[in-house]
């Protein structure tokens, strides 16, 4: 809705229409509509609970910055958001800023559709000092950097943790597993002693990715797919052992917390974003992902990207909003309210966040404790193809009992083709 | 003898009911479950589930209604569906009449092309349509939600078939009385075509009411969004608020259901009269 | 004089186009133009966001021919379409025959059986997904338990996943064919039926030798429309299975969606769409040809 200035003599009736319209704009903008406010549209895929938190932050920013109006616009699921971004960029009406997955970032960057955030670092008044830059969690910075350029800002990030039902573990006489061997033993003990499954997992790339990195493997190494190396094979074999050999785990394709909440499984892996969904009727906790060869966990979630189609003023205004959202105090509040990870060291250390962790460290401590071991999916435009190929390999191994090496080799070949490696 | 016949027909009636009850129950099952869930407390989904709520609550409806500006979505859905239906009726009746009664060059080819547009998946026309709407400056307005669906092959097809069943004599008589061809359509043909109008309106309304991806992509602002888009808000990356989602689904479905109950007789007649494949 | 008349006729002919013009301009702008655009895209390497687009000829189609996912999706789509069309037409016909009479409550049955058609597919799929919960607590598992059957993993079982998706679609489209069959049945004149009754034809004979032949145009219509709809199914797959497990429920339009929007391969997605269009047009044409021979038109 744009109100241009060329409104010559307006009849009374027209005037009232304009008046109603501007009221509407003011209403939508959240109250503050200054004469020459720069508009920033912010597209996201955050539903009900998270959306409420986000809208509060947006209103706060708008109140503190009368010269900018940020409009947060919900665009459905992440898949819907991606569809919409493609349409909008091709039509030349991209939002000023949006949440993006890192493989989208790669594609939009390649198309010249993004303005790297680092362009604003030296802006003086609204810049980012070296100390502030160093405050961002290093592994996030690395994952948001393409060819040495810091492109996007991490925002709603989450990391895999191991959720466990304390009562079931107690009944099986096992502790919270710290290694993969312990995990396997614990799952078996739970199944044997209680009859309940010890572990639930998804037959997909994300769960495989967690095991892959815990067993010391990587997605890509030296520009070649590497997930079919010995570590990857060991990881997939481990999953296969849990499900097929021991029968102590099962695969599922929905939200695993639902399985956990109704008592179908004693343990499962999911990111910290699941915390609010776990039933507090259970005596539960969340531990770091058990170590295989190494201690590691996988990060998920999206980043803030500024789009190049906006005017420089709008881009700067968007940057100020991005800076605000990831400022230590706001970021800590966001993390506490949503369960997402703090993206800055000072936010993680802040009283706000520490208080949250300390209110029940057994539940809220594991995520941030793993930040130093965080691993990421590759920021490649064609990664979605890889996701399907790897998921199919995992399905073959867990459903059909295909040899992990064979399944992963096929997936690696297909991925190499898709990535043009 | 008449008594025996009476018995036989009672028995047959009973049989018909018996044969209908099972499929009706199957058809209803998901709805009953949706409704039952919408009246459950969220905590009840965690335990072993019973079909009906152990404790009935209306809270979900209140919470769902307040989770997003559903009143606004409702108004938008009604405006969009009503205007879409109106436009479909106008374009459908005109084109249907044209194809059924008026001579024009390339009539059959045109009709074939129109039917062929049904065979292209909308997934692929989404972005091109977005580009066109952008050029027209219609994105994020009602026009983007209404006009592109203001003509459908189905409504044209249906009207054409229906109009063919109306005796030409009536129209000829009106023409002799000095009525224009358009006047004949408006004063003679359309009043006789109430079932067709209702059928087109029903399908038009259902299609518009239930569309999700189109309104999501073609609008940006919250105050332009429709009910189906609003329904998505209960699903997040880490979980779904089922009780709220089911309550919201219930209050989007029930109104068209009630409306359908009232038009269903005419609706069936509307399709019946077309003959469909003449 | 003769010349003058043809000209007047021709003018009237062009005037006739005015009737079609409103519909044609909307369909042209929002259906045909996008199709033409998509057809062009399928000959390029466009992902829509890159500023430079190269013409690559039939490259995308060549890729399609050697793409195992495309073959799987095509096969699944055919299986899905045949199953859904067959069963929803069959059930729809059976219900229509039962409902084609006057009795108390017939309106209620018609309404309730049509209910699934009225519902948004994506909403219905959320409910169905939940009914298919793979543990013994899931609604469907509890129902099959009543018949002494074991719990199934419905959408997770490679052999059951596609049938489970099809079951939902059959549930949703049966009401549609039922209504159309019902309409077709109401067009069959009662005098023919009465005459057959007088001649002593029993219920089955009347169905086999009178109803079905007279209904054949309607059956044809239902088949054509259902094939077109089923071939383009996507929402239920998106919600129920996401194409898995093991690509067993990957259908063409979902694969198209994945390529065009998830993998930034719009051009390839467009090529799949064009292929789908050609397949559907061919199917419809064949159905038409078969119908010409087989369908019994009253007159």
How far, in Å, CA of C77 to CA of C169, rounded?
13
Q: What is the pLDDT of residue A203?
A: 94
The pair of structure tokens assigned to B262 is 């009232």
Q: What is the pLDDT of residue A8?
A: 35
For tokens 């919409």, the residue is A84
| C123 and C21 within one domain | no
- Tally of domains in chain B: 1
How far, in Å, CA of C292 to CA of C299, rounded?
14
B277 — contact with chain C (CB < 8 Å)?
Answer: yes
| C15 and C117 within one domain | no
- What range does the domain containing C13 cover? 1-30
| C212 and C166 within one domain | yes
| C76 and C17 within one domain | no
Q: Is residue C165 part of a domain?
A: yes
Q: Which chains pack against A, by 3+ Cβ pairs within 8 A?
A: B, C
Q: Is residue B169 part of a domain?
A: yes
| C159 and C276 within one domain | yes
Q: What is the pLDDT of residue A211?
A: 98
Which of C263, C267, C268, C270 to mutate against chain A (most A CBs within 10 Å)? C263
Q: Is residue B55 part of a domain?
A: no
Distance from CA of C176 to the nearest CA of B (A): 11
| C281 and C216 within one domain | yes
Identify all chain A residues contacting C49, using CB atoms and an 8 Å cutoff: 86, 89-90, 107-108, 111, 113
- Cβ of B236 within 8 Å of Cβ of A76? The answer is no
User: How would you classify residue C236: left for phi > 0, otherwise alpha for psi between -120 and 50, otherwise beta?
Assistant: alpha
- Cβ of C49 within 8 Å of Cβ of A86? The answer is yes
Q: Is residue B91 part of a domain?
A: yes
Could you tell me the CATH number of the domain that includes residue C251? 1.10.3720.10
Q: Helix/strand/coil (H, E, C) string of chain A?
A: CCCCCCCCCCCHHHHHHHHHHHHHHHHHHCCCCCCCCEEEEEEECCCHHHHHHHHHHHHHHHHHCCCEEEEEEECCCHHHHHHHHHHHHHHCCCCCEEEECHHHHHHHHHCCCEECHHHHCCCHHHCCCHHHHHHECHHHHHHCEECCEECCEEEEEEEEEEEEEHHHHHHHCCCCCCEHHHHHHHHHHHHHHHCCEEEEECCCHHHHHHHHHHCCCCCEECCEECCCCHHHHHHHHHHHHHHHHCCCEEECCCCHHHHHHCCCEEEEEEEHHHHHHCCCCCCEEEECCCECCCCCEEEEEEEEEEECCCCHHHHHHHHHHHHHHCCHHHHHHHHHHHCCCCCEHHHHHCHHHHHHHHHCHHHHCHHHHCHHHEECCCCCCCHHHHHHHHHHHHHHHHHHCCCHHHHHHHHHHHHHHHHCC
Q: Which chains pack against C, by 3+ Cβ pairs within 8 A?
A: A, B
| C93 and C21 within one domain | no
| C282 and C189 within one domain | yes
- Cβ of C182 within 8 Å of Cβ of B272? The answer is yes
Q: Is residue B120 part of a domain?
A: yes
- What backbone torsions phi and psi does residue B51 show, to the nearest 5 degrees? -65, -55
- Cβ of C49 within 8 Å of Cβ of A111? The answer is yes
Q: Is residue C46 part of a domain?
A: no
Identify all chain C residues contacting A399, using CB atoms and an 8 Å cutoff: 158, 245-246
Q: Is residue B35 part of a domain?
A: no
- What range does the domain containing B241 cover? 65-274
| C228 and C162 within one domain | yes
Domains of chain A as residue ranges with CATH: 12-157+301-359 (3.40.190.10), 158-299+369-419 (3.40.190.10)
Q: Is residue C55 part of a domain?
A: no
Distance from CA of A415 to the nearest CA of B (A): 25
Helices B122-136 and C266-294: crossing angle in degrees, nearest 10, is 120
- Cβ of A90 within 8 Å of Cβ of B131? The answer is yes
How far, in Å, CA of C135 to CA of A139, rounded?
39
Q: What is the pLDDT of residue C9?
A: 56
- Tally of domains in chain C: 2
In this prediction the pTM is: 0.89
> Mean pLDDT, chain C, as a whole number?
87
Across the range C169-197, mean pLDDT stands at 86
Q: Is residue B134 part of a domain?
A: yes
Q: Is residue C257 part of a domain?
A: yes
| C251 and C175 within one domain | yes
Q: What is the pLDDT along chain B (278 residues), one digit of tens a residue?
A: 444 555 667 888 888 888 999 999 999 999 999 999 999 988 888 766 788 898 899 999 999 998 889 999 999 999 999 999 999 999 999 999 988 888 777 888 888 888 888 888 888 889 999 999 999 999 999 999 999 999 999 899 888 888 887 888 877 887 777 778 788 888 888 888 888 888 888 889 989 999 988 999 999 988 999 999 888 888 777 777 888 989 999 998 887 888 787 887 777 776 766 655 43
Q: Is residue C47 part of a domain?
A: no
How far, in Å, CA of B240 to CA of A257, rounded?
11
Could you tell me the CATH number of the domain that includes residue B125? 1.10.3720.10
Q: Is residue B125 part of a domain?
A: yes
Which of A27, A43, A74, A259 to mutate against chain B (most B CBs within 10 Å)? A74
How many Cβ atoms from other residues are within 10 Å of residue A402's Cβ?
18
Q: What is the pLDDT along chain A (421 residues), one digit of tens a residue?
A: 333 333 333 344 444 544 555 445 445 544 444 457 999 999 999 987 888 999 999 999 999 999 999 999 999 889 999 999 999 999 999 999 999 999 999 999 999 999 999 999 998 889 999 999 999 999 999 999 999 999 999 999 999 999 999 999 999 999 999 999 999 999 999 999 999 999 999 999 999 999 999 999 999 988 889 999 999 999 999 999 999 999 999 999 888 998 899 889 999 999 998 998 898 889 999 999 999 999 999 999 999 999 999 999 999 999 999 999 999 999 999 999 999 999 999 999 999 999 999 999 999 999 999 998 999 999 888 888 889 999 999 999 999 999 999 999 999 999 998 887 6
Q: Is residue C40 part of a domain?
A: no
Among B114, B162, B166, A117, which residue's Cα sits nearest to residue C23?
B114
Q: Is residue C35 part of a domain?
A: no
Q: Is residue B71 part of a domain?
A: yes
């Amino acid at each position: 809705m744009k109100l241009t200035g060329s409104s010559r003599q307006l009849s009374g009736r027209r005037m009232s229409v304009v008046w109603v319209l501007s009221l509407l704009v003011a209403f939508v903008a959240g109250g503050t509509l200054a004469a020459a406010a720069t508009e920033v549209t912010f597209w996201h895929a955050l539903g009900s609970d998270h959306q409420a938190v986000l809208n509060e932050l947006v209103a706060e920013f708008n109140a503190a910055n009368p010269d900018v109006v940020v409009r947060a616009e919900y665009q459905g699921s992440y898949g819907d958001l991606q569809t919409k971004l493609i349409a909008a960029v091709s039509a030349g009406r991209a939002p000023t800023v949006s949440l993006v997955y890192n493989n989208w970032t790669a594609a939009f960057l390649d198309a010249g559709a993004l303005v790297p955030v680092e362009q604003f670092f030296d802006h003086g008044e609204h810049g980012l000092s070296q100390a502030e830059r160093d405050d961002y969690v290093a592994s996030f910075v690395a994952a948001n950097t393409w060819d040495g350029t810091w492109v996007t800002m991490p925002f709603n990030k989450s990391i895999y943790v191991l959720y466990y039902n304390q009562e079931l573990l107690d009944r099986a006489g096992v502790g919270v597993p710290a290694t993969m061997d312990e995990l396997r033993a614990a799952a078996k003990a739970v199944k044997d002693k209680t009859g309940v499954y010890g572990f639930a997992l998804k037959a997909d790339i994300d769960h495989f990715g967690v095991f892959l990195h815990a067993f010391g493997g990587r997605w890509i190494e030296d520009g070649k797919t590497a997930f079919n190396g010995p570590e990857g094979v060991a990881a997939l074999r481990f999953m296969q052992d849990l499900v097929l050999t021991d029968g102590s785990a099962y695969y599922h394709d929905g939200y695993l917390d639902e399985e956990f909440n109704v008592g179908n499984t004693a343990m499962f892996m999911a990111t910290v974003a699941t915390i609010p969904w776990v039933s507090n009727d259970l005596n539960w906790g969340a531990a770091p992902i058990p170590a295989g060869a190494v201690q590691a966990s996988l990060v998920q979630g999206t980043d803030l990207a500024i789009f190049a189609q906006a005017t420089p003023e709008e881009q700067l205004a968007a940057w100020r909003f991005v800076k605000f959202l990831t400022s230590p105090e706001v970021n800590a509040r966001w993390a506490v309210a949503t369960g997402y990870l703090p993206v800055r060291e000072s936010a993680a250390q802040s009283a706000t966040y520490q208080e949250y962790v300390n209110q029940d460290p057994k539940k809220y401590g594991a995520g941030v404790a793993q930040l130093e071991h965080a691993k990421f999916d590759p920021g490649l435009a064609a990664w979605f193809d890889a996701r399907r190929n790897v998921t199919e390999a995992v399905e073959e191994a867990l459903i059909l009992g295909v040899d992990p090496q064979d399944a992963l080799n096929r997936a690696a070949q297909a991925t190499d083709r898709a990535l043009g490696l | 003898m008449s008594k025996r016949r009476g018995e036989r027909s009672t028995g047959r009636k009973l049989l018909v009911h018996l044969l209908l009850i099972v499929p009706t129950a199957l058809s209803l099952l998901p709805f009953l479950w949706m409704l039952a869930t919408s009246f459950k407390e969220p905590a009840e989904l965690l335990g072993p589930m019973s079909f009906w709520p152990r404790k009935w609550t209306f809270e979900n409806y209140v919470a769902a209604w307040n989770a997003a500006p559903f009143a606004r979505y409702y108004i938008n859905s009604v405006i969009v569906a009503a205007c879409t239906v109106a436009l479909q009726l106008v374009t459908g009746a005109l084109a249907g009449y044209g194809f059924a009664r008026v001579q024009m060059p390339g009539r059959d080819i045109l009709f074939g092309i129109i039917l062929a547009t049904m065979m292209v998946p909308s997934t692929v026309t989404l972005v091109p349509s977005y580009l066109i709407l952008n050029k027209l400056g219609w994105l994020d307005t009602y026009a983007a939600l209404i006009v592109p669906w203001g003509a459908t092959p189905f409504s044209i097809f249906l009207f054409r078939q229906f109009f063919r069943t109306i005796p030409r004599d009536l129209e000829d008589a009106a023409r002799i009385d000095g009525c224009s061809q358009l006047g004949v359509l408006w004063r003679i043909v359309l009043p006789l075509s109430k079932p067709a109008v209702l059928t087109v309106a029903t399908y038009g309304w259902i299609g518009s009411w239930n569309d999700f991806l189109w309104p999501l992509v073609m609008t940006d602002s919250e105050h332009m969004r429709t009910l189906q888009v609003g329904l998505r808000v209960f699903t997040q990356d880490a979980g779904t608020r089922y009780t709220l989602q089911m309550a919201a689904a219930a209050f989007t479905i029930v109104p068209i259901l009630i409306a359908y109950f009232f038009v269903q007789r005419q609706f069936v007649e509307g399709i019946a009269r077309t003959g469909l494949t003449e | 004089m003769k010349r003058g008349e043809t000209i007047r006729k021709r003018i009237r002919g062009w005037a006739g186009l005015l009737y079609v013009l409103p519909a044609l301009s909307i369909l042209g702008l929002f259906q045909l133009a996008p199709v033409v655009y998509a057809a062009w895209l399928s000959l390029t390497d466009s992902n829509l966001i890159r500023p430079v687009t190269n013409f690559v000829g039939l490259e995308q189609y060549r890729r399609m021919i050697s793409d195992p996912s495309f073959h799987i999706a095509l096969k699944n789509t055919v299986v899905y379409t045949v199953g859904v069309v067959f069963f929803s037409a069959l059930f729809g016909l059976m219900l229509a025959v039962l409902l084609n009479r006057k009795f108390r409550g017939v309106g209620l049955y018609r309404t309730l059986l049509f209910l699934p058609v009225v519902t948004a597919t994506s909403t219905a799929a959320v409910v169905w997904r939940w009914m298919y919960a793979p543990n013994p607590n899931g609604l469907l598992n509890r129902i099959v338990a009543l018949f002494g059957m074991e719990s199934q993993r419905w959408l997770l079982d490679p052999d059951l996943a596609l049938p489970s998706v099809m079951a939902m679609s059959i549930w949703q489209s049966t009401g549609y064919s039922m209504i159309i069959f019902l309409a077709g049945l109401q067009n069959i004149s009662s005098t023919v039926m009465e005459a057959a009754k007088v001649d002593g034809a029993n219920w089955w004979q009347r169905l086999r030798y009178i109803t079905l032949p007279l209904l054949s145009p309607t059956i044809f219509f239902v088949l054509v429309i259902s094939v077109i709809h089923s071939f383009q199914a996507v929402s239920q797959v998106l919600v129920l299975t996401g194409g898995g497990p093991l690509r067993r429920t990957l259908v063409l339009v979902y694969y198209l969606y994945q390529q065009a929007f998830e993998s930034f391969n719009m051009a390839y997605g467009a090529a799949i769409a064009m292929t789908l269009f050609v397949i559907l047009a061919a199917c419809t044409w064949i159905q038409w040809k078969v119908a010409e021979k087989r369908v019994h038109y009253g007159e």
